[in-house]
Amino acid sequence: MKNIVTVLLLVLFTACSSDEVIKDYSEENEQEILTYIADNNIVAEKSESGLYYVIDNPGTGDMPIDSDRVKVSYKGYFTDGTTFEENDEGISFFLQEAILGWREGVTYFKEGGSGKLIIPAHLAYGNNDTQTIPAGSVLIFDIELIYVNYETENEQQIEAYLLNNNLEATKSDTGLYYTVEELGEGQQPVLTDNVTVSYKGYFIDNTVFDEGSDSISFDLENLIKGFSEGVTYFKEGGNGTLYIPAHLAYGNSGTTGILPGAVLIFDIGIISVN
String of DSSP letters for 30-62:
HHHHHHHHHHTT---EE-TTS-EEEEEE--SSP
Q: Which residues of 96-126 are buried (b: 16+ CB within 10 A; e: fewer)?
A: eebbbbbbbbbbbbbbbbbbbbbbbbbbbbb
- Domain for residue 5, yes or no? no
Burial class (CB in 10 A: 0-12, 13-18, 19+), 185: exposed
Q: Which domain holds residue 242?
A: 151-273
Pair (137, 155) in one structural domain? no
List per-residue pLDDT tens for the chain, 274 residues long.
444 445 555 433 333 444 556 789 999 999 999 999 999 999 999 999 999 999 999 999 899 998 899 999 999 999 999 999 999 999 888 999 999 999 999 999 999 999 999 999 999 999 888 888 999 999 999 999 999 999 999 999 999 999 999 999 999 999 999 999 999 999 999 999 999 999 999 999 999 999 876 778 999 999 999 999 999 999 999 999 999 999 999 998 899 999 999 999 999 999 999 8
Q: How far, in Å, CA of 264 to CA of 139, rounded?
A: 39
Tally the residues of the chain. Answer: 274
Using an 8 Å Cβ cutoff, are 73 and 148 in contact? Answer: no
Q: Decide the pairing of beta strands 114-119 and 52-57.
A: antiparallel
Structure pTM? 0.78
CA atoms within 13 A on the CB side of 108: 20
Q: Please identify, among 128, 148, 168, the residue that sits at the C-terminal boundary of a domain.
A: 148
At 77, which CATH number? 3.10.50.40
Using an 8 Å Cβ cutoff, are 252 and 260 in contact? Answer: yes
- Domain for residue 19, yes or no? no
- Domain for residue 16, yes or no? no
